[in-house]
Amino acid sequence: MPQLIQHIDAIAREKQRDVLYPTFHDGSQTREHYEQIAARKTIIEWLDSNKVGWLMCGDIANEHSLSPYAGQIFIDVPYDLDDPKYQAVQQFLEYPDGSMRFDGVMFWIVSLERAMKNAHHDAPGLLGTMGRELLKHRVRCFNGFKFNEKIPLSTACLGDRQRGRLSN
């Protein structure tokens, strides 16, 4: 079933604070489905058992490309070195030297300052206009692309139109 997943920068703007999120990648060309990533499962189990809120999220929004969901999660704990909940999350994910405890996991902090660079994405109608255009053409933008490719929207859609992959 389709889900609306917010970009991490939109979550930062909504929360009005810096936000935390891990990303998952095994380093290979073919990425396993995010639900099968052992480190992701372990992290989510730990977050749930420690009553730490989390949501699926996308990477920082980019007007020039679309990326498929790859298992990223927003961890609903403020970035505050003095906060015991943040300390627990950090100690679970990282060794004392800052290296990651889990292979293929990166732990990111997105500052509110960085997120505000995309504040124009919150303007009414921005997604609506793009969405209407895609629906108008009934474009299946991701046909023929690898799961982990970042695809410029115009290239993907134009390419599908040129290859005749539109449904009428």
Tens-place pLDDT, residues 41-62: 999 999 999 999 999 999 998 8
* Prediction pTM value: 0.70
- Hey, how many other C-beta atoms are within 10 angstroms of the C-beta on 33? 9
Amino acid 27: pLDDT: 62
Whole-number Å distance between alpha carbons of 15 and 157: 33
C-alpha to C-alpha distance for 72 and 53, rounded to whole angstroms? 14
